[in-house]
Amino acid sequence: MLSDLLDVGMINVPWPAIINGKNYEGQLIKEHNYCKYKCLEFECKNIKSEDSVQICGLGLAYYQKRLKQHTVVVYGILPENKEIMKMSKQFKRDTKGRTVTKSQFIGWLKLLIEFFEVVRKTERKMLEEALHPLHETIKWSRQIHLLVGKILSKYGRSSIKDNYTMSSNEEKALYKASVMLTDTFETVAIYFNPDSATYGRKKKIDVYKLLDKMRIIHNLTSNKSINISGHSNRDYELYESFKLVPLSLLQNAIKYSVVGDIDIDLLETNDTLTVKIKSIGPIIKDDEIRNIFKRGYRGEEAKKHHVEGMGAGLYISNEVAKAHHFIISVESIDKRVIKNQLQMAENIFSFSIKSELK
C-alpha cells in the first residue's frame, strides 16, 4: 500500500528521494543529471550514517534516515553549509537552487513518520479483518492433521516414520497434505499480525526434539534429505510461535537448494544454543541479505531459480525472532561453481537462543 501511495503521488516527496530502496522524483527539485547519468556507485543507498550530511563522489550531498522498517534518503542536493564542499564555477551553475537544510529534511521526516503510522494501522486493520474468517479454518486444519496421525497409527508401529512407510499411497498423500495445510495456516496469523508471535505464555521446548521431528516429517514429504548434527541438553522458554523460525528456514532451504542435502548444526555452550541451517543454492548478494527479511522480497538469483514464492517465509521467521529478542544471521559463501546458469553458494541461516532456566 505504501509504495502504491508513493507511486501515485499521494505522499509529498519534495526532493529526489530513495524510500525503501526505490527512487522517487522530487516534486520541487528534480533528480540531478549527475545522479541520473554519471553516478555509478549509488553510495547514497548504503545507510551508513544518520548524524550529518554526507557528500558523494560526484560532490553532491545526501541525507539518510532509518525509520523502523523504512529507509529514507534525500540525494543530489546541496547542504546549507556549502563551505564543506569544493565547488567549481561549473558545479555551482549545475547545482543552483538545490539547497535542502537539515531542519527541512527533519521536518519532512516527521510528516513521513506520521503518514507511515497511518498506513501501518490501516494495513493492520485490513489484514486482521481478512484473517478473522480463518480462525475456525486454522483450528480445523490442526484437527485434520491429528486425525490423519490417528489413521496411520492403525499400523501399530512406534514412530510416525514407520507407520507412514507402511501406509497406502492415498494415506501418504493425505498425510503430506495435512502437514502442508497445518504449516501454511500456522504462518498466516504471523504474516497478517506479527504481534501474534507473542500470544500465550512461554513454555519449555526441547529444541533438538522439535528439529528432529521436523527433519522426520520433511524427509517423509520431500525429495531432499535433512541431516542433524550436534545436540541440546536443556529446554528453552519459548513462545509456541518459535517453531515457525526453524520451519520457515527449513522450507526456504528446501525450496532453493540445488545440490546436496540440507544440514542442521547445533552447538550448545553454557546457556546458549546456536542453530545453523545450511544448504547449497543460488548465491545471496550483500544487498539482498539486507532486504531478505522484508515482506514480499525475493532475490534476483532466487527468481532465476524459477521457484514459486511470495517472500513470506523469511519475513515470518524474522518477526517471530524479534518477538523472542534474537537475530537471524545470513551468510552466503561463494562456491565458485555455476549450476543451471546460477552462481552457487553455501547459504547459512543461523540464530542463537538463551536459556532462561535456573
| DSSP code, position 30 | P
C-alpha cell at 137: 479454518
* Residue pair 58/76 in contact by the 8 Å Cβ criterion: no
Domain closes at, from 66, 100, 134: 100
Are 339 and 227 part of one and the same domain? Answer: yes
**Does some domain include residue 130?**
no
Question: What residue type is 331 in one-letter code?
Answer: E
β pairing state of 259-269 and 272-282: antiparallel
How far apart are the C-alpha atoms of 206 and 210, rounded to whole Å?
A: 6
pLDDT tens readout for residues 218-263: 887 777 899 999 999 899 999 988 989 998 999 899 988 988 899 9
Domain closes at, from 100, 134, 153: 100
Are 350 and 214 part of one and the same domain? Answer: yes
Domain count, the chain: 2
**Does some domain include residue 196?**
no
CA dihedral 288, 290, 296, 301 (to 10 degrees): 10
**Does some domain include residue 70?**
yes
Q: Is the pLDDT of residue 154 over 80?
A: yes
Domain closes at, from 37, 72, 100: 100
Chain-centre distance for alpha carbon 65: 20
How far apart are the C-alpha atoms of 280 and 263, rounded to whole Å?
A: 10
Alpha helices in 95-204 (DSSP H): 102-131, 135-152, 160-166, 169-192
C-alpha cell at 122: 490501516
Query: Which pLDDT value is given to residue 34?
Result: 87
Q: Which helix (H) or strand (E) holds 215?
A: helix 207-221
Are 344 and 218 part of one and the same domain? Answer: yes
Are 207 and 348 part of one and the same domain? Answer: yes
Residue with cell 532453493: 256
How far apart are the C-alpha atoms of 319 and 245, rounded to whole Å?
A: 9
Q: Is the pLDDT of residue 264 over 90?
A: yes
* Residue pair 293/318 in contact by the 8 Å Cβ criterion: yes
Query: Which pLDDT value is given to residue 2?
Result: 64
Query: Which pLDDT value is given to residue 130?
Result: 63
How far apart are the C-alpha atoms of 222 and 252, rounded to whole Å?
A: 13
Query: Which pLDDT value is given to residue 41?
Result: 77
How far apart are the C-alpha atoms of 291 and 312, rounded to whole Å?
A: 13
Q: Which helix (H) or strand (E) holds 163?
A: helix 160-166
**Does some domain include residue 151?**
no
Query: Which pLDDT value is given to residue 261?
Result: 93
Q: What angle do CA 172, 174, 175 make, to 5 degrees?
A: 65
Are 96 and 205 part of one and the same domain? Answer: no
| DSSP code, position 283 | -
C-alpha cell at 41: 556507485
Q: Among 272, 286, 218, which residue's Cα sits nearest to residue 249?
A: 218
* Residue pair 246/211 in contact by the 8 Å Cβ criterion: yes
Are 209 and 342 part of one and the same domain? Answer: yes
Are 82 and 224 part of one and the same domain? Answer: no
Tell me what the mean pLDDT of segment 175-180 comes to.
79
Tell me what the mean pLDDT of segment 115-137 comes to.
72
**Does some domain include residue 225?**
yes
C-alpha cell at 288: 539482498
C-alpha cell at 38: 554519471
**Does some domain include residue 226?**
yes
Residues 175-182: contacts with CB under 8 Å, at least 24 apart: 175/148, 175/149, 175/220, 175/221, 176/220, 176/221, 178/141, 178/144, 178/145, 178/148, 179/145, 179/217, 179/221, 180/221, 181/141, 181/144, 181/145, 182/141, 182/142, 182/144, 182/145
Q: Which domain holds residue 346?
A: 201-354
How far apart are the C-alpha atoms of 215 and 247, rounded to whole Å?
A: 10
Q: What is the CATH number of the domain that holds 226?
A: 3.30.565.10
Q: Is the pLDDT of residue 184 over 90?
A: no
Q: Is the pLDDT of residue 6 over 60?
A: yes
